[in-house]
Chains A and B, each alone.
Chain A
Amino acid sequence: QVQLQESGPGLVKTAQTLSLTCTVSGGSISGGVFYFSWVRQPAGKGLEWIGRIYTSGITNYSPSLKSRVTISVDTSKNQISLKLTSVTASDTAVYYCAREGVGAYSRYEDSFDIWGQGTVVTVSS
């Protein structure tokens, strides 16, 4: 059973870079046809998609965050990483990673079928 686990600093200083890791267990990242997305949620607010990466390294990013986001994959460690630069208080949120199927290759089309439990990140000076 595949599981995702986010990890990283819970507190980041304003203007610095937020770095998070999503570790995949119970299966190899490169063993299937999947994207892995990052999604965030400020307290009391809705979900915001940040971006995604295919296991080959192809990425897509939210237009509103594209200039500050980098998502990468390390298949040897079974991990996906998120870097968000020049953070402000508005980047304070719970950050989730999620697995996304690829069309007909996936049991549930291109939906997000597995989510991590999320990690809280606070940006403060």
Chain B
Amino acid sequence: SYEVTQTLSVSVARGQTARMTCGGNNIGSKNVHWYQQKSGQAPMLVIYKHKNRPSGIPERFSGSNSENTATLTISRVQAEDESDYYCQVWDSNFWVFGGGTKLTV
């Protein structure tokens, strides 16, 4: 089955840029979605189909996807961005989530 590997943790200071990756074999050929999950809350979509932001998501959030790595970038990180982030891809007949990246601000 398809596997995706996420950076375990990322730590940045407020105002800096956070980058977290989602690795998988030829993931660049798949749609990748990203979710933010704050402590005790349900996940929330922040990026869909590699690089698109849903309504209400700040422009600071961006995504890219190429070859074997998808990347979620958060510019000008705020304290409120401290969360777990999960990537998601579709493989044949089922969804696969990455193990999650913990962002510490």
- Judge: A and B partners, yes or no: yes
Interface residues of A, Cβ cutoff 8 Å to B: 37, 39, 46-49, 51-52, 60-63, 96, 98, 107-113, 115-118
What bracket does the count of chain B residues touching chain A fall in?
A: 20 to 34
| Whole-angstrom distance between the Cβ of B93 and the nearest chain A Cβ | 5
| Whole-angstrom distance between the Cβ of B94 and the nearest chain A Cβ | 6
Supposing A113-B54, A115-B42 touch, asked if A49 and B35 sit within 8 A by C-beta, the answer is: no
Nearest B residue to A51, CB-CB = B94
> Contact at A108–B48, with CB atoms within 8 Å?
yes
Residues of B within 8 Å of A112, CB to CB, are 33, 35, 43, 45, 88
Residues of B within 8 Å of A108, CB to CB, are 45, 48-49, 52, 54
Supposing A47-B100, A63-B1, A117-B42 touch, asked if A109 and B48 sit within 8 A by C-beta, the answer is: yes
A107 to B93, CA, bound (A): 22
Residues of B within 8 Å of A115, CB to CB, are 42-44
> Contact at B95–A113, with CB atoms within 8 Å?
no
For residue B98, CB closer than 8 A to chain A, the reply is: yes
Interface residues of B, Cβ cutoff 8 Å to A: 1, 31, 33, 35, 37, 41-45, 48-49, 52, 54, 84, 86, 88, 90, 93-100
A111 to B55, CA, bound (A): 13
Among candidates A62, A96, A98, A116, residue contacting B94 with C-beta atoms closer than 8 Å? A62
Residues of B within 8 Å of A52, CB to CB, are 95
Residues of B within 8 Å of A98, CB to CB, are 43
Supposing A111-B88, A112-B33, A113-B54 touch, asked if A48 and B43 sit within 8 A by C-beta, the answer is: no
